[in-house]
């Protein structure tokens, strides 16, 4: 039963990480034209940083596991804020235009964000499939035991 729960924990960590990615990407897309934020200046693109963490429960488990075969979950360790220069667009009638008539827009590429969204969605779906397969194996094992 321990291996089944391990599989479910790994899949659920992947689902949580991909959900955070999807929310962050959605925020980037929603703010693609935001020129003014409470911090000042245009919205800054955000990107999720993921990091593997060992699935072992104790220090002894970590010592006994083989490094190349150890199972790992994933966790969100940071949400990186892009500090690259904003995209400047000439629009002298815009309320946020500088004295030269240019407006600072977020440096967000819609096609890149959509590709990232598709990738996050597919990764989420893969984790759901893995969790369902693990659940089916557990149910089959319970039926065999009857």
Does any domain span residue 87?
A: no
Domain count, the chain: 1
**Is 86 within 8 Å of 42 (Cβ atoms)?**
yes
Does any domain span residue 71?
A: yes
Does any domain span residue 126?
A: yes
Sequence-distant (≥ 6) Cβ neighbours of residue 1 within 8 angstroms? 138
Q: What is the band of 16 on the pLDDT scale with cuts at 50, 70, 90?
A: very high
Does any domain span residue 86?
A: no
Alpha-carbon torsion, ordered 34, 37, 40, 44, to 10 deg: -60
- The domain containing residue 59 runs over which residues? 2-32+46-81+108-144
Question: What is residue 12's predicted lDDT score, i.e. its pLDDT?
Answer: 93
**The model's pTM:** 0.82
Question: What is residue 50's predicted lDDT score, i.e. its pLDDT?
Answer: 95
Does any domain span residue 28?
A: yes
Q: What is the band of 60 on the pLDDT scale with cuts at 50, 70, 90?
A: low
For the stretch 69-108, pLDDT in tens is: 567 889 999 999 999 999 999 999 999 999 999 999 999 9
Let me know if 120 is exposed, middle or buried by CB neighbors in 10 A (0-12, 13-18, 19+).
buried
Does any domain span residue 103?
A: no
Sequence-distant (≥ 6) Cβ neighbours of residue 66 within 8 angstroms? none
What does the pLDDT average to over 115-126? 97
Does any domain span residue 121?
A: yes
Does any domain span residue 100?
A: no
| Cα separation, 122 vs 14, whole angstroms | 11
What does the pLDDT average to over 57-77? 68
């Amino acid at each position: 039963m321990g291996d089944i729960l391990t599989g479910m924990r790994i899949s659920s960590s992947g689902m949580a990480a991909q959900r955070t990615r999807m929310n962050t990407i959605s925020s980037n897309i929603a703010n693609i034209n935001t020129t003014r934020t409470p911090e000042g200046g245009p919205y800054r693109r955000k990107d999720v940083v993921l990091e593997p963490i060992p699935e072992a429960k104790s220090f002894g488990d970590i010592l006994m596991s083989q490094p190349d075969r150890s199972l790992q979950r994933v966790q969100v360790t940071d949400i990186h804020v892009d500090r690259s220069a904003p995209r400047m667009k000439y629009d002298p009638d815009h309320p946020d235009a500088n004295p030269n008539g240019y407006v600072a827009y977020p440096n967000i590429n819609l096609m890149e964000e959509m590709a990232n969204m598709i990738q996050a969605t597919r990764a989420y779906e893969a984790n759901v499939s893995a969790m369902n397969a693990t659940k089916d194996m557990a149910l089959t094992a319970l039926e065999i035991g009857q």
